Amino acid sequence: MPGLVSIYDLTRQDMEEIFEDTEKRLNAQPRKELSGKIVSLAFFEPSTRTYLSFETAAKKLGAEVIGFTGEEAISVAKGESLADTVRMLENYSDIIVMRHRFDGAAKFASRVTSKPVINAGDGKHEHPTQTLIDLFTVRRNFGFIDNLTFGLLGDLKYARVVNSLLRGLKAFRPKLAYLISPEPLAARREILEELNYPYREVREPHEVIGEVDVLYVTRIQKERFVDEQEYERVKESYKVDLKLVEQMKKDAIILHALPRVQEIDRRVDKDKRAKYFEQASYGVPIRMSVLVKYGVEKA
């Protein structure tokens, strides 16, 4: 059943419709558009923001929510296959929101169920609803998404939010994307080969920071490293501090999907360019819009 597995499942027009719908939700009393529906939140991997924002979104729309976080609590711990777990969720619910540590898990799930599957993060692959939040924040701040210079900083190799954002930007016309990372965390070739807009890989943020309109900072994805020592070598290899922010354009913005560890100095939070908490606040209305799109039209 079609759902939202990759950001490629949405055209520019689909995204713009979601953004316009989300705008309307910002100041409106929620309507019970999903009343009588059951949303299942199948989070095989830890999450706070994403889980709670989907739960809040579903409840505001009048849906019932069932769900779990972590594999220990459910029968996967007894050896149940993903396919069987998904078939069970299909019987109980109208829409399945899923997070999993394996790349491709959401796609796999969407093949074994007739209910729409929303990918809430699959391994180091994609996280499309986060990209909607990211692009919506850009649009709110600039009024548009085209013609901006993006700087993606940090763990571009393992962060799924980076893959979805780089892919999502293909539907727009970015002026340029700087991919700023230490060499071991460089973006994956197969993603770069897909891009249809100019990009440049750089190692040092200060070389390009003055040109960037949107600085997108990522956490080092410790849980995805195959080798602990590799993680130790890179774990403090970049940091956004006041000195770096000072070199940014006055109207630039700084985004981060959160959670943050040490990659943004907390003193940056007070700078008016820091928009990551504003960005997080769009999690609920964007996800309401997504749940209605897939839960009402298709169910």
Point out which residues bind ligand NCD (CB under 6 A). 49-50, 121, 127, 130, 159-161, 219, 257-258
- Residue number with CB closer to ligand NCD (90 or 155): 155
* Nearest CB to ligand NCD, comparing residues 90 and 291: 291
- To the nearest whole angstrom, how small is the minimum distance from the Cβ of residue 107 to ligand NCD? 17
User: Shortest distance, CB of residue 42 to ligand NCD, whole angstroms?
Assistant: 15
Under DSSP, the state recorded for 43 is E
CB of 219 to ligand NCD, least distance (A): 4
Collapse the DSSP code of 118 into the 3-class scheme (helix H, G, I; strand E, B; otherwise coil) and give the result: strand
Please, which residues bridge with residue 176 across strands? Answer: 149
> What is the smallest separation between the CB atom of 173 and ligand NCD, expressed in angstroms?
26
**Minimum distance, C-beta of residue 123 to ligand NCD, in the bound complex (Å):** 10
Alpha carbon separation from 256 to 174, 233, 283 (Å, rounded): 19, 22, 13
The residue to which tokens 């571009």 are assigned: 156
- Residues 182/237, Cβ–Cβ less than 8 Å: yes
Helical axes 283-297 vs 49-60, angle rounded to 10°: 60
Instruction: Quote the tokens at residue 23.
Output: 């705008």
The residue assigned the tokens 């993603």 is 191
Q: Which is nearer to ligand NCD, 37 or 96 (CB)?
A: 96
Identify which of residues 40 and 50 has a Cβ nearer to ligand NCD in the complex. Answer: 50
Pairing label, strands 149-153, 214-217: parallel
Largest CA distance in the chain: 55
**Considering beta carbons, is residue 88 or 258 the nearer one to ligand NCD?**
258
47/93 with CB nearer ligand NCD = 47
Closest approach, Cβ 161 to ligand NCD, in A, equals: 5
**Per-residue buried b or exposed e for 2-40, using 16+ beta carbons within 10 Å of the residue's own CB:** ebbbbbeebeeeebbebbebbeebeeeeeeeebeebbbb
Three-state DSSP at 217 gives strand
Q: How far is the CB of 266 from ligand NCD (least distance, A)?
A: 17
Nearer to ligand NCD, 37 or 125 (CB): 125
Q: How far is the CB of 217 from ligand NCD (least distance, A)?
A: 10
Whichever of 172 and 216 has its CB closer to ligand NCD, that residue is: 216
Separation of alpha carbons 192 and 169, rounded Å: 12
Tokens found for residue 181: 């990372």
Look at the block and give the residue holding tokens 């296959």: 81
